[in-house]
C-alpha cells in the first residue's frame, strides 16, 4: 500500500474514531491535555503499524493501540505521583468550567465514580457500557478471554454501583 493511500485510510479512521478514542483515554487518565497527546500518539503508532493491520475491525485495532499507549503512559508515571493524581484528579480539577457545565449530572456522577475504580474495571466498563463494544471486541482490545471480560464487567459494575451509592448518587439506570 502506498504512503498516500495509507494516509488517506488513516485520515478517514481519524475522522470516524478520534473523538471516541479521546474520550476512552480521558476516562483512563483524567487529564484533557494528556488525553489529547495520547490520542495523537495512538494515530501516529497506527500509521507506523498500518502494514501489520490485517483485521476487519479498524476501530477495535485503534482502541487496542490507544489502550496500550495509555497503559504505557500510566506505568511510566512516578508511582508516588500516580497515587497523588488518582486520589485528587476529580473532574472539577480536570474539566474546564465550560466542559463541566456541558456534562449532565448523571455523566458527572459516572465520571467521578469511574475515576475511583481499579483500572481493569474502568477499562471494561468504558469499552462495554460506554463505547458499546461487543464482548468479543472488548476481549480483543484488552487481550483477555471473553470469560474474563464478563467476570470483570460484572465485578466492575458491582463496584461502580457501590461507589455511586457511597457518593450518594442514584444508579438505577446503570
Confidence of residue 82 (pLDDT cuts 50, 70, 90): very low
Statement to judge: residues 80 and 8 lie in one domain: yes
Flag whether 98 is in a domain.
no
Statement to judge: residues 5 and 62 lie in one domain: yes
The arithmetic mean of pLDDT across residues 110-134, rounded, is 88
Total domains in the fold of the chain: 2
Is 121:30 a contact under the CB 8 Å cutoff? no
Confidence of residue 101 (pLDDT cuts 50, 70, 90): low
3-state percent helix, strand, coil for the chain, nearest multiple of 5: 80, 0, 20
Statement: the pTM of the whole predicted model exceeds 0.85: no
Statement to judge: residues 51 and 130 lie in one domain: no
Statement to judge: residues 69 and 148 lie in one domain: no
Flag whether 96 is in a domain.
no
Flag whether 99 is in a domain.
no
The average confidence (pLDDT) of the chain is 81
Query: 103-129 burial, b if ≥16 CB within 10 A, otherwise e?
Result: eeeeebbbbbbbbbbeeebbbbbbbbe
What's residue 111's pLDDT?
77
Residue that terminates a domain, selected from 42, 66, 89 = 89
Statement to judge: residues 70 and 112 lie in one domain: no
What's residue 86's pLDDT?
40
Tens digits of per-residue pLDDT, 45-67?
A: 999 998 888 877 899 999 999 99
Residue that terminates a domain, selected from 54, 89, 124 = 89
Tens digits of per-residue pLDDT, 126-147?
A: 899 888 899 999 999 999 999 9
The residue segments making up the domain with residue 159 are 104-174
Statement to judge: residues 1 and 80 lie in one domain: yes
Amino acid at each position: 500500500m502506498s504512503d498516500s493511500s495509507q494516509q488517506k485510510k488513516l485520515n478517514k479512521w481519524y475522522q470516524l474514531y478520534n473523538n471516541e478514542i479521546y474520550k476512552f483515554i480521558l476516562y483512563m487518565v483524567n487529564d484533557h491535555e494528556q488525553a489529547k497527546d495520547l490520542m495523537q500518539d495512538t494515530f501516529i503508532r497506527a500509521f507506523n503499524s498500518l502494514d501489520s493491520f490485517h483485521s476487519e475491525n479498524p476501530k477495535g485495532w485503534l482502541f487496542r493501540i490507544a489502550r496500550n499507549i495509555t497503559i504505557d503512559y500510566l506505568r511510566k508515571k512516578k508511582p508516588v505521583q500516580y497515587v497523588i493524581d488518582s486520589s485528587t484528579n476529580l473532574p472539577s480539577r480536570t474539566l474546564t468550567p465550560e466542559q463541566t457545565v456541558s456534562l449532565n449530572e448523571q455523566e458527572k456522577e459516572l465520571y467521578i465514580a469511574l475515576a475511583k475504580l481499579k483500572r481493569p474495571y474502568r477499562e471494561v466498563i468504558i469499552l462495554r457500557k460506554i463505547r458499546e463494544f461487543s464482548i468479543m471486541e472488548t476481549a480483543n482490545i484488552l487481550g483477555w478471554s471473553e470469560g474474563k471480560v464478563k467476570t470483570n464487567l460484572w465485578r466492575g459494575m458491582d463496584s461502580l454501583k457501590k461507589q455511586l451509592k457511597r457518593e450518594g448518587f442514584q444508579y438505577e439506570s446503570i
